[in-house]
Amino acid sequence: MDKLLVSDLLLRCIIGINEEERLNKQDVIIQITLYTDTTKAGQSDDIKDTVNYRTITKEVIAMVENSSYNLLETMLAKIVEICFSHEGVEGCLIRAEKPGALRFARTVGVEIERWKNK
């Protein structure tokens, strides 16, 4: 299966369970891998024959920046819903990290992989 990659998408949102995390937006870094078949697009050179990662990214940005979740797991589940709403996406690997969330750690994060037909 081919992959389309969106790397290091830096967004800000309300995320976390602690009181101070609920007051101000925090940075989150999101990685999106979309599993699809790019054979037809590779032959036709036409955007209509592939997954438009720009459209998906815009939807993810709008959702995340206007969100208020306690858990990264919930936010990632919503990103999966966005990805799967687009024709041609057969699976996705989504990762989100919160820089500086733990003392002595550069970042903490969650990664999930989902497939439409599994």
Q: Where in the sequence numbering do the catalytic residues fall?
A: 98
Task: Find out whether 79 and 32 touch, Cβ atoms under 8 Å.
Answer: yes
Q: Is residue 83 helix, strand or coil?
A: helix
Which runs of E-coded beta strand occur in 20-106? 26-36, 68-69, 91-99
Exposure on the CB side of residue 13, measured as CA atoms within 13 A: 27
Measured in whole angstroms, the distance separating CA 85 from the mean position of its chain's CA atoms is 13
CA separation for the pair 110, 97 (Å, rounded): 7
